[in-house]
Amino acid sequence: MLRVIETFTSLQGESTYAGAPCFFIRLAGCNLRCSYCDTVYAQETGQPLSIDQLLEITELEKLRWNGHSLNGDILPIVEVTGGEPMIQEETPLLLKRLCEAGYTVLLETNGSIALDKVDPRVHKIVDVKVPSSGESGKNLSACLEKLSPHDEIKFVLGSLEDYHWVKKFLEARLALSQKNTVLLSWYDMSNSVPKGEHPISRTELAEFIIRDALPVRMQVQLHKILWPDIERGR
Ligand code: SF4
């Protein structure tokens, strides 16, 4: 059994699949407590569902998309997220079963748990925690070293200090951005600025990337723009 917070269809928001129709399976629980967490409710207990039940729910949603595909990916693509999905023992099996069923599968993970058991067909999106998250000490370098070329690395940042930290991080690991897409995802920290930090705007982040010739892809958190007042199910 897996503990599940919610399943829903939306548009993928933060990866190279951004904008694609996506069925989300949000699993319960997280081992971190990031300062900017926008899914605190995922730390609740959730509802127990078997892998077979989750496959059935996913299949029902797939029927609604009538066999359509996008760039060769059957729609909807499927993302397993959290919380932190890898804290549940059965998650690797769920991912494998989804791959076997022919879905394009994304795993959003916080980079603090080993990913050796994840099916190689899964597109892993590994979040590297920046200092303003309060959890950067939990980053596991082994998660990044073993990534496949189709996996992606994401930094969620909102301050000048975070930006400089990310820049140094990437300069010290040049091979990372040569092998994997690196995403910089801006969030607005202007209403909750950690002590000693200086918020940057979306535009400033874009200009810094261009000025510093940083080999990254900038992202905005699409779901927050489209549904600013809806916390769950988007
Ligand atoms: S890892 Fe993700 S879900 Fe967990 S606390 Fe951080 S932002 Fe929230």
Q: Is 195 domain-assigned?
A: yes
Does residue 200 lie within any of the structural domains? yes
Which ligand 1 atom is the nearest neighbour of the CA of 31?
Answer: 4
Rounded Cα distance, 64 and 66, in Å? 5
Residue 165: give its domain's CATH number. 3.20.20.70
Q: Is residue 135 part of a domain?
A: yes
| From 90-99, 120-129, 214-223, the region with the lowest mean pLDDT | 214-223
Beta-ladder partners of 217: 183
Within-domain flag for 216: yes
Protein residue closest via CA to atom 8 of ligand 1: 37
Domain assignment of residue 98, yes or no: yes
Q: Write the burial class of residue 134 (CB in 10 Å: 0-12 exposed, 13-18 middle, 19+ buried).
A: middle
For the entire predicted model, the pTM comes to 0.95
CA distance 214 to 212: 5
Pocket around ligand 1 at a 6 A CB cut-off? 30, 32-34, 37, 39, 42, 82-84, 110
* Residue 136 within any structural domain of the chain: yes
Q: Do strands 217-220 and 181-186 pair parallel, antiparallel, or not at all (unpaired)? A: parallel
Query: pLDDT, tens digit, for every residue of 134-160?
Result: 999 999 988 898 899 999 999 999 999
pLDDT tier for residue 202 given thresholds of 50, 70 and 90: very high
**Residue 146 near residue 118, CB atoms below 8 Å:** no
How does pLDDT run across 204-233, given as a tens digit for each residue? Answer: 999 999 999 999 999 988 888 888 888 787
Ligand 1 atom at minimum distance from 33 CA = 5
Please state the domain count of the chain: 1
Range scoring the smallest mean pLDDT among 119-133, 173-187, 219-233: 219-233
Residue 184 belongs to domain spanning: 2-226
Is 21 contained in some domain?
yes
Is there a domain that residue 232 lies in? Answer: no
Nearest residue CA, atom 5 of ligand 1? Answer: 33
Mean model confidence pLDDT for the chain: 94
Tokens of 17: 């699949």
Dist. CA 180–CA 176, nearest whole Å: 6
